[in-house]
Amino acid sequence: MPRLDDDLVSALRFDQNGLIPAIAQQWDSGEVLMMAWMSAESLAETLASGRACYWSRSRQQVWRKGDTSGHIQKVRDIRADCDGDTLLLLVEQTGAACHNGTRSCFMTQLTEAGARPADDTAHSAGK
C-alpha cells in the first residue's frame, strides 16, 4: 500500500470522539465486509503495517483486526469521501470479516421474512 499523504490525513474530520467511520470493501469482488471506526492512532497503525487497524469502541483500545482470529485485512487502498469524514478501505480479507464467522457482517435482511441469513451472492455486487 502506498504511504498516506500527511496533508490529506490532517484534513480528515474525526468526530467528537476522535473517530472516523471506515468501510471495508473486498477490493476485487466489491463485497462490503464491515464498518468500523478508526482513531488517528489506528489509522497511523494501518499505514505503518498495511493491515487494517480500528478503534474498538467497546474495549476503548486499538484493535488490530485479525490478531486473535487470523482474519486480517491487507489494505490495498484508502479513499476519503467528499466531506473527509468517512473512509473506504479496499482490502484483501483473509477468511471471515465478521466475528460470527461469516464473510461479511451485513447478513441480516430487514424484510418481512424476518431475520435470515442474506444471500451471499447479493453481497458480491449482485452477482
Binding site for its own copies (CB under 8 A): 2-5, 7-9, 21, 23, 25-32, 34-35, 77-84, 86-88, 90, 98-100, 102, 105-115, 118, 122-127
For residue 38 the three cell numbers come to: 478508526
Distance of CA 76 to CAs 26, 84, 103, Å? 10, 19, 18
User: Alpha-carbon distance 7 to 11, whole Å?
Assistant: 6
For its own copies, give the closer residue by CB, 70 or 114. 114
Least separation, in Å, of the C-beta of 53 and its own copies? 15
For its own copies, give the closer residue by CB, 18 or 99. 99
For its own copies, give the closer residue by CB, 68 or 83. 83
Least separation, in Å, of the C-beta of 95 and its own copies? 15
For residue 8 the three cell numbers come to: 490529506
CA neighbor of 21 nearest in space, from 46, 64, 47, 55: 55
